[in-house]
Amino acid sequence: MLIKDHEPLGPKTTMRIGGTARYFADLETKQDVEEAYAFAQEKKVPLVVLGAGANTIFADGTINALVVRVKGDDIEIDGNSIRVQTGKNLAILINECAEDGLDLSALTGIPGTVGGAIVGNAGQGPKGTWLDSFVVNVTAFVDGEWKTFSKEECEFAYRESTFKRQSTINHQPSTIIWEAILNAPQGKPEEIKSTIQELLKKRMKAQPHAKTSGSCFKAANGTPAWELIEKAGLRDLKIGGVHISEKHANFLINEDGSFEDVAKIIEEVQTKVPELKEVEMRLIGEDGQPTT
């Protein structure tokens, strides 16, 4: 495993904001995972895990941590069962499964990796299908040991899992999820592919194609955040180089902004719409700890 010093993080996220990682490594094997954990322990720095950075924004300075990006992306299909390493790009997984007549099409259009999707129980809104409906179990390296979590132990809920909760509550974002077993229903490859195309078309219409991390706030008691933001008249809100998307009021768009601009815009929205208590994006401060 190669540890890099002061690696730029902005380009590794879809929002394109962030400074540098004091230490950075790509994890290709289980041995890399173990070495990364030992390195962070030895240097006494937090271990911050990154997938494709579609839901993560880093502070602008030096993140005093070991930031690791999970790159293992092997996949093995056996009947309805899919064993997949969590660095796998979700869109590629969905397409490969479609070729084999396995239907994960409900997760179409969600950027990022399987790991990120497990942590945030990615899905199509509060009433849609979430990743947990396909999960059998998840294997992760936790506090220096390998552990397999049953679906129940993952404690999935709307945009939540035990992995996300632990990192926020204990400020210990150090669990590295390495592999998952999913179970997908069978279907005809042509039909699955056509559903994927339909869902992608819908997304293209409804969502901006810009530097963004997707939805900023969680729905509040089932009411979509965009609806509350629109009602509060915040559609035109812009702070520094970050503004609310004209196309989707729960998306923040980065023009040439900073971490501070993002933090201020979140604060402003929460002041005007107190129901939006929970931020969906993961903001990581210079101390390597989540700020949301």
Segment interacting with ligand FAD (CB under 6 A) among 33-41, 110-118, 262-270, 271-279: 110-118
Asked if residues 35 and 176 have their Cβ atoms less than 8 Å apart, the reply is no
- Which member of 16, 22, 69, 159 is catalytic? 159
> Which residues inside 229-248 make contact with ligand FAD, applying CB under 6 A?
none
Per-residue buried b or exposed e for 103-129, using 16+ beta carbons within 10 Å of the residue's own CB:
bbbbbbbbbbbbbbbbbbbbbbeeeee
Q: Does 47 bind ligand FAD (CB under 6 A)?
A: no
Task: Kindly identify the residues of this chain, within the stretch 204-223, that bind ligand FAD according to CB under 6 A.
Answer: 207, 212-214
SS (H, E, C) 13-57: CCCCCCCEEEEEEEECCHHHHHHHHHHHHHHCCCEEEECCCCCEE
Least distance (Å) between residue 188 CB and ligand FAD: 25
Which residue of 10, 19, 46, 120 would you call a contact of ligand FAD, by CB under 6 A? 120
**203 given a catalytic annotation:** no
The piece of 118-126, 180-188, 229-237, 268-276 that touches ligand FAD (CB under 6 A) is 118-126
What is the C-alpha separation between 89 and 122, in angstroms, rounded? 13
DSSP symbol at 112? S
How many Å apart are CA 122 and CA 105, to the nearest integer? 13
Is there binding between residue 257 and ligand FAD (CB under 6 A)?
no
- How many Cα neighbours within 13 Å face the side chain of 206? 12
Tell me which residue has tokens 């602008």: 60
- Decide whether 117 or 269 has the Cβ nearer to ligand FAD: 117
Contact status: 250 vs ligand FAD (CB under 6 A): no
Q: Which of 40, 47, 66, 70 binds ligand FAD (CB under 6 A)?
A: 70
Ramachandran angles phi, psi of 206, nearest 5°: -90, -20
Q: Determine whether 191 is an active site residue.
A: no
116 binds ligand FAD (CB under 6 A): yes
Which residue in the set 102, 122, 180, 228 belongs to the binding site for ligand FAD (CB under 6 A)?
Answer: 122
Annotated catalytic residue 159 = yes
Residue 161 lies near ligand FAD (rule: CB under 6 A): no
Using CB under 6 A, which of the segments 45-53, 93-101, 219-227, 259-267 binds ligand FAD?
Answer: 45-53
C-alpha 257/C-alpha 46 separation (Å) is 26
Is 12:212 a contact under the CB 8 Å cutoff?
A: no
* Structural tokens at position 232: 């509060």
What is the binding site for ligand FAD (CB under 6 A)?
14, 49-56, 70, 86, 110-113, 115-117, 119-120, 122-124, 163, 167, 173, 175-177, 207, 212-214, 282
The residues assigned a catalytic role are 159, 215, 280
